[in-house]
Amino acid sequence: MLTNNTKIYIAGHRGMVGSAIWRKLEKEGCDNLIGKTSSELDLRNQQAVKEFFAEEQPDVVIDAAARVGGILANSEYPWQFLYENLEIQNNLIASAHEFGVEQCVFLGSSCIYPKHSEQPMKEEALLTGPLEPTNQWYAVAKIAGVKMIEALRRQYDHNYVSLMPTNLYGPRDNFDLQTSHVLPAMIRKFHEAKVNGHATVTLWGTGSPMREFLHVDDVAEAVLFVLNREMGQGLYNVGTGKDITIQNLALLIQEIVGHEGEIEWDTSKPDGTPRKLMDVSRMKEEGWTYNIELKEGIRDTYEWFLENLDQIKEVEIEK
């Protein structure tokens, strides 16, 4: 159980997921939170990570740090997505074990499951078939992290847990059209088309794949839930258990943004996995379910996008 004095290190605390976890824990009265920017602590540097753990001696570690991106980014940077994510999680999980960290939460992604998994995807589907080729590099790294957590639970009886969220979105999402995921990319595209006289919006693929989406504040709730109990198993899916076609998602975002132009589908571009729906029964049996419905969550995300549009553009210019 967490107390106000529990020393919690959140790796990736400035990202979408890490910042949501930070806000949630702060709201719950956790006053002893630690966060380091990438310039302050390079998580790819094993020695630097070890020195940090030796100095800070955290009670809890939450690994929300990763190199992430959509289909385009994964396709163009396979080496970085594989190697850098392995470096980050290896250093964090190994140091947590070495320095006696009581609880560790490793955050992954639903992309760890085979491309043609039986739907909805159960935790038992892991390593039962080929991965989706467009994001296999990231997936292989995350699978290794899941297995590290499993090994430490089995060999040392650590209270370490892997949480595999479905597609996440929300405040502080990545809206860069070159590297973002589908939902924030659509928000950006529909907004810019609206500003440009309700111009036509071109989207990748056929619109037929089905996807599940979870607001980032819900995954923060799931992390808090896990930290306040001894979990029976090492791997849990975190999602809504409900999905939507990409086409219907586009129509929903178009409505919320207020875009009145046409939508064109570029069928020469890949669709990715046909369907990705999580079986969330294992987490439900522990007593956790999501709270934020998709329409409400997209409205919240679009409001944040509008409030931070200047800052988003500045970050892109700096690149």
pLDDT at residue number 318: 47
Statement: the pTM of the whole predicted model exceeds 0.75: yes
Q: Taking the CB of residue 1, how many other CB atoms lie within 10 A of it?
A: 7
Q: Which amino acid is at 98?
A: E
pLDDT at residue number 315: 55
12 falls within a domain: yes
3 falls within a domain: no
Q: CATH number, domain at 97?
A: 3.40.50.720
Q: Which domain holds residue 291?
A: 8-318
pLDDT at residue number 123: 98
pLDDT at residue number 316: 57
Query: Binding site residues for NADP(+), as ranges?
Result: 12-18, 107-110, 142, 165-168, 181
Residue among 123, 216, 131 nearest 167 (CA): 216
71 falls within a domain: yes
Tokens (6 digits) for 72: 């385009």
2 falls within a domain: no
How far apart, in Å, do the first and last CA atoms of the chain sit?
42
213 falls within a domain: yes
* DSSP letter (8 states) at residue 204: E
Query: Binding site residues, as ranges?
Result: 12-18, 107-110, 142, 165-168, 181, 189, 204, 211, 271
Q: What are phi and psi of 37, to 5 degrees?
A: -75, 165
Of 9, 138, 169, 290, the active-site residue reads 138
Active-site residue flag, 138: yes
Q: How many domains does the chain have?
A: 1
| CA-angle at 66, arms to 65 and 68, nearest 5° | 135
Q: Taking the CB of residue 162, how many other CB atoms lie within 10 A of it?
A: 29
pLDDT at residue number 319: 43
| Mean pLDDT per 10-residue interval, the chain, length 319 residues | 93 96 96 96 98 98 88 84 97 98 96 92 97 91 98 98 96 88 95 98 96 98 97 97 98 98 95 87 98 98 96 61
Residue among 84, 144, 75 nearest 109 (CA): 144
pLDDT at residue number 50: 98
pLDDT at residue number 181: 84
